A and B are shown apart, each in its own frame.
Chain A
């Protein structure tokens, strides 16, 4: 299997603080991959290292099998949309396209023009006066008109209203439908990720908590609720991700590939939201104490 992003004990320090430390992960190619995790988990640092905006302090990372930003060819293979989809506020839409063409050898002028037309953007308008949704769409246009093999987006829809968000994701999915392109995007909006991603990576404190196909994750996790019971009383095939107890009742979130047949349990499927929060809340071995941690109340 080939990987779009592969990191091996990757680390990056700012002064004395590690923003990402000992991060090892492998994200398969040809998928739309959602990267989630609490603020400060290292998502943005990881993505910046992957596109070559940052150099690692330790370890290594490859994108599509090559070092990030290693020459013009590699730069052309990776499209990047940074957090909050920045554009140049004083440049017009047309000037953005001209800049894209000037800077990228593989620029597809036809694609850029037709997308801008489709979106109804005025070529003479300055980017600073575009709406948030239009700005995001312009940034996406610049990233895909260079015809990359992989697209990396850092929280592209965080600041958009629900309609603009849906439009943006629709554009992104239409690109995936027409081109063979790998996409990695970070987001806190799990409902969006559930629609658009087929693969999910949960990153907490530089560590991958879980990674896999979204449909596999959903079909292998259950919430069990029933009379109070110790986690050790569960079958060995059920791995407990989260548990809470009252004096009479126990609730578990378990991962298992076998069907749960014990009639004592009320069994509910787990939403992707529940699943991500459960993994984000788990204790991480060796985690630094200064990191704020999400606690689940029981």
Chain B
């Protein structure tokens, strides 16, 4: 069972924070198929948030095929995240690390690097959308 946390200054809608935390837990192996998510009542008692928000997050996860609600029993994880090839992941992690090292060697600070990354990221996905 996982416990949800809220970041109230993030500008991310509460239900989306819950969805992201389930994704994160799946990615890190803290949740696996068969595990039960906390009930809406439990989340409400813990975080003092609107139960509709919890249900909305669970509906979202259900639509994505990650969880299934079993009436009277709770909401269960039914699938892992559609995985990316681990070999590809480690290859890109390697080339990204090399790139970061050379940027650092060229005298760029963390903020410079992040600005470059964000711009490149947006350019790349803008191409996809256009």
Where the two chains meet, the residues of A that have a C-beta atom closer than 8 Å to any C-beta of B are 31-32, 166, 169-170, 173-174, 176-178, 191, 194-198, 214-215, 218-219, 259, 261, 263, 266, 268-272, 274
Contact = CB atoms under 8 A, between A and B. Distances in A.
Nearest to A258: B129
B50 A271 contact: no
Chain A interface helix/strand/loop/mixed: helix
A270 B44 CA distance: 25
Interface size class of B (residues with CB under 8 A): 20 to 34
Interface of B: 6, 8-16, 40-41, 44-45, 47-53, 56, 118-119, 122-123, 125-126, 129-130
B13 A261 contact: no
Chain B interface helix/strand/loop/mixed: helix
B51 A195 contact: no
B16 A215 contact: yes
Contacts of B51: 173, 176-177
A197 B53 CA distance: 9
Contacts of B122: 261, 263
A215 B56 contact: yes
Contacts of A32: 50, 52
Nearest to A197: B50
A31 B50 CA distance: 9
Contacts of A173: 44, 48-51
B39 to A, nearest CB: 9
Q: Which of A31, A194, A259, A272 has the most CB of B within 10 A?
A: A194
Contacts of B13: 214-215, 218-219
